[in-house]
Amino acid sequence: SDRTDRTPHRLDPAGARRHEDDAGLRAQGAAVPVVLPGGVPAVAVTRHEELKEFLADPDVAKDACHFTALREGVIPDGWPLTIFATLEGMTTADGADHRRLRGVVTKVLTPARIEGLRPRVERLTAELLDGLGTAAGASGVVDLRRHFAVPLPVSVIGELLGVPPAMRGELRRFSYTMARTTLTPEESAAANRGMAEALGRLAALRRAEPGDDLTSALVAAHDEDGTTLDDRELTATLLTLVVAGHETTLALITNAVRALCTHPDQLELVRSGKAGWADVVEETLRYDAPVGLFPFRYPLRDLPVGGTVVPRGTPVLAAYASAGRDERAYGPDADRFDVTRRPANRLLSFGHGAHYCIGAQLARLEATVALEALFARHPDLALAVPDRELPRLSSFISNSTEVLPVRIFA
Ligand code: HEM
């Protein structure tokens, strides 16, 4: 079928009915025209197999020079999503540039280094759990997102990047804003400016007092020879690590706790040893993927995707949360949270191909440690409000709820 046959779906910038909307898109096809905030036409790739193929296609690029509407100047001024296309880091680079930008990070963020963080993650988790009772006060109710799911990954990425504790709140606030897709051009510009300014201060600090952290390593790569990482690339790399390094992980922890609270039978399977905490993490990644729709990729030619031709230069979103619910890949009960599922298909929730997430191992480590320790400490933890009343995060990119009030004691 031709994409022009259809009325494009207006993507809900507030992501309010995420899985219902995704099901609607998936039913329309594997590549579905959508309209982004600001009226910008795009396409979402919605089904597991087609998305996997699309992500690894050599005729698909991430460099914004291939974004036809942006190049032709027809994108509205101050469009808040521009940053996702024009940030000069590994997420918007192809080929040799991409290998260079990614290599600077993977050289220092090695599997051994990540595994070495385990005792620190356990310690931070225990400290946060110690504080939950005080936060809950006499009511016994606490916002688990604010007091647990947020501070754990913020501290882990903060320590990894050598961010002084006093600066972490500021970086968290800018990240929180940048993950929204309901911003005005002014809000978006202010957050982008604030973030760049804060990261400039971070780089200057680590240049003056280098440590055994990633920022110091990136600054050294930038300073040693002008070709490894230029000024804008240094800022973009730090920005990507700060935002991707915690926003997604906190969503994973939040979504997992929420799924377990609304599926006590699944929690029981973990308690009785029929499934492990790693299974809970994998099933949450599939069932309620932290990255909903990720912007952008551009076909380098008119590209057929599952029978629909996506015109060259169209901005395409990878619909990761939708792919996780695809019945063709995960069976007719793909909408069910089942920690014993162990699917044959490899999940796409961390991406696929050259841009596969460099933090997947760290995210899994943090979420597994956090969930195991949380439910050991508070086995009777329960949602304090009905699930359907939980406000969604205003974003089609970041998929989670705004708060997670739970009762930790009666
Ligand atoms: C890339 C998901 C945690 C750093 C990605 C992509 C996805 C993803 C889907 C590919 C985006 C695309 O190109 O379409 C997640 C999820 C996480 C998580 C679900 C947690 C549950 C982390 C952490 C870090 C991180 C902890 C940093 C320590 C990155 C970076 C990229 C990336 C730097 C870009 C890779 C590239 O373009 O080559 N992530 N991520 N992520 N992630 Fe993660």
Give the predicted TM-score (pTM) of the model. Answer: 0.97
- Is 252 a pocket residue for ligand 1 (Cβ < 6 Å)? yes
Read off the pLDDT of residues 188-240 as tens digits, 9 standing for 90 and up.
999 999 999 999 999 999 999 999 999 999 999 999 877 889 999 999 999 99
CB of 206 sitting under 6 A from ligand 1? no
Over residues 304-320, the mean pLDDT reads: 97
Position 410 scores a pLDDT of 72
**From the CA of 7, how far away is ligand 1's center (Å)?**
32
Q: Determine if ligand 1 sits within 6 Å of the CB of residue 151.
A: no
CA of 296 to the centre of ligand 1 (A): 14
* Mean pLDDT of the region 278-304: 98
Q: How far is CA 351 from the centre of its chain?
A: 10
DSSP output for 210-224: --SSHHHHHHHHHHH
Looking from the CA of 387 toward its CB, the CA atoms found within 13 Å total 11
Cα–Cα distance measured from residue 114 to residue 116, given in angstroms and rounded to the nearest whole number: 5
Number of domains in the chain: 1
pLDDT score recorded for residue 116? 97
| Ligand 1 proximity of 52 Cβ (cutoff 6 Å) | no
| pLDDT of 304 over the 70 cut | yes
Give the pLDDT score at 4: 46
Any ligand 1 atom below 6 A from CB of 89: no
Q: Ligand 1: which atom is nearest the Cα of residue 320?
A: 9
Q: What is the mean pLDDT of residues 302-324?
A: 97
ipTM above 0.95, yes or no: yes
Tell me the per-residue pLDDT of 152-174, one tens digit each, with 9 for 90 and over. 999 999 999 999 999 999 999 99
Mean pLDDT for the chain overall: 95
**pLDDT over 50 at 112, yes or no:** yes
343-394 pLDDT per residue, tens: 888 999 999 999 999 999 999 999 999 999 999 999 999 999 999 999 999 9
pLDDT value for 2? 46
Ligand 1 centroid – CA 70 distance (Å): 24
Give yes or no for residue 248 CB within 6 A of ligand 1. yes
CA of 353 to the centre of ligand 1 (A): 12
Ligand 1 contact, 244 CB (< 6 A) = yes
- Asked if the model's pLDDT at residue 115 lies above 70, the reply is yes
User: How many CB atoms sit inside 10 A of residue 231's CB?
Assistant: 12
Q: Which amino acid, residue 125?
A: T
At 96, is the pLDDT very low, low, confident or very high (cuts 50, 70, 90)? very high
348 ligand 1 Cβ < 6 A: no
Asked whether 51 and 318 are in contact (CB, 8 A), the reply is yes
Average pLDDT of the segment spanning 19-45? 96
Question: 148-179: b or e for each residue (b if 16 or more CB lie within 10 Å)?
Answer: bbbbbbbbbbbbbbbbeeebbebbbebbbbbb
- Which of 357, 369, 398 is the pocket-test mutation for ligand 1 (most atoms within 8 Å of CB)? 357
- Among the ranges given (1-15, 237-251, 337-351), the one the predictor scored with the smallest mean pLDDT: 1-15
pLDDT value, residue 5: 52
Query: Coil, strand or helix: which one is 16?
Result: coil
How far does the centroid of ligand 1 lie from the alpha carbon of residue 241, in Å? Answer: 9
How far, in Å, CA of 292 to CA of 296, rounded? 13
Element (H, E) at 281: helix 277-287
d(CA 241, CA 234): 11
What is the Å distance from ligand 1's center to 169 Cα?
A: 21
Domain containing 73 — which CATH number?
A: 1.10.630.10
- pLDDT of residue 294 exceeding 80, the answer is yes
Which letter, b or e, does each residue of 74-89 get, where b requires 16 or more Cβ atoms within 10 Å of its Cβ?
ebeeebbbbbbbebbb
Q: How far apart are CA 54 and CA 299, in angstroms?
A: 9
Helices (H), 10-47: 18-28
pLDDT for the residue 124: 98
Distance 102 CA to ligand 1 centre (A): 12
Q: Nearest residue CA, atom 41 of ligand 1?
A: 359
**Whole-number pLDDT of residue 229:** 92
Could you tell me the residue range of the domain that residue 211 belongs to? 3-407
Q: Answer yes or no: is the C-beta of 357 below 6 A from any ligand 1 atom.
A: yes
In the chain, % of residues over pLDDT 90: 93
Q: Rounded distance, CA 21 to CA 71, Å? A: 30
Q: Does the pLDDT of residue 9 top 70, yes or no?
A: yes
Q: Tell me how far apart the alpha carbons of residues 389 and 396 are, in angstroms, rounded to a whole number.
A: 19
pLDDT for res 6: 62
In this predicted structure, the answer to whether residue 307 has a pLDDT above a threshold of 50 is yes
Please give the pLDDT value at position 1.
Answer: 42
Q: What tokens were used for 34?
A: 């959508």
From the CB of 294, is ligand 1 less than 6 Å away? yes
pLDDT in tens, 265-285: 999 999 999 999 999 999 999
